[in-house]
Copies of this chain bind each other. A is one copy, B any other.
Amino acid sequence: MSNPHGVAGPARTPVAVLSGTGYGGMELLRLLHAHLSFELVEVTARTGLGQRVCDLFPQLPGVTLPLTERVECAELVFVALPDDAAVAVVPELLVAGRRVVDLSAGFRLREPALYPEWYGYEHPAPALLEMAVYGLPELHRAALKDATLVACPGCYPTAALLALAPALAKGLIEPDIVVDAKSGLSGAGRGLSLGTHYAEANEDVAAYGLPGHRHWPEMLQELADLLPQPSAASREGDEESRIRLTFTPHLVPMTRGILATCYADLRAGIKADVVRAIYTAYYASEPFVHVIGQPPHTKHASGTNHAYVYPTVDPRTDRLVVLAVIDNLGKGAAGQAIQCANVMTGLPETLGLDAAGLYP
A interface, CB within 8 angstroms of B? 23, 26, 29-30, 33-34, 57-63, 176, 178, 180, 182, 184-186, 188, 190, 192-194, 196-208, 210-212, 216, 244-246, 248, 250, 252-257, 259, 261, 263, 290, 292, 295-304, 306, 308, 312-317, 319, 321, 323, 325, 354-360
Shortest Cβ distance from A278 into chain B, in angstroms? 18
Q: Do A193 and B196 touch (CB < 8 A)?
A: no
Closest B residue to A31 by beta carbon equals B356
User: Pick the contact of A204 from B194, B254, B323 — CB < 8 Å?
Assistant: B254
- Which one, B180, B196, B212, B306, contacts A199 given CB within 8 A? B196
- Contact status B254-A203, CB under 8 Å: yes
Chain B neighbourhood of A325, CB < 8 A: 205-206
Q: Complex Cα distance A358/B321, Å?
A: 31
27 cross-chain CB contacts under 8 A: A23-B360, A26-B359, A30-B355, A34-B354, A34-B355, A58-B292, A59-B304, A61-B290, A178-B178, A180-B261, A184-B203, A188-B199, A192-B193, A197-B198, A198-B253, A199-B255, A200-B360, A203-B257, A203-B302, A206-B295, A206-B296, A210-B312, A246-B263, A246-B317, A246-B319, A250-B261, A303-B358
Chain B residues in 8 Å Cβ range of A261: 180, 207, 248, 250
Residue from the set A33, A178, A204, A312 with the largest chain B CB neighbour count within 10 Å:
A204
CB pair A30 B356 closer than 8 Å: yes
Residues on B with C-beta less than 8 A from A200 are 299, 360
- B207 touching A295, Cβ below 8 Å: yes
Q: How far is the CB of A90 from chain B (nearest CB, A)?
A: 26
User: Quick one: given A180-B180, A204-B297, are A250 and B259 in contact (CB under 8 Å)?
Assistant: yes
Which residues on the B side are within 8 Å of A26 (C-beta)?
Answer: 359-360
Bound Cα distance A180, B212 (Å):
18
CB-contact partner of A61 in B33, B306, B314, under 8 A:
B306
- Report whether A204 and B299 are in contact in the complex, using a CB–CB cutoff of 8 Å: yes
How far apart are the CA atoms of A60 and B251 in the complex, in Å?
A: 22
Interface centre among A58, A63, A190, A302 (most CB of B within 10 A): A58
Do residues A257 and B204 form an inter-chain contact, with CB atoms below 8 A?
Answer: yes
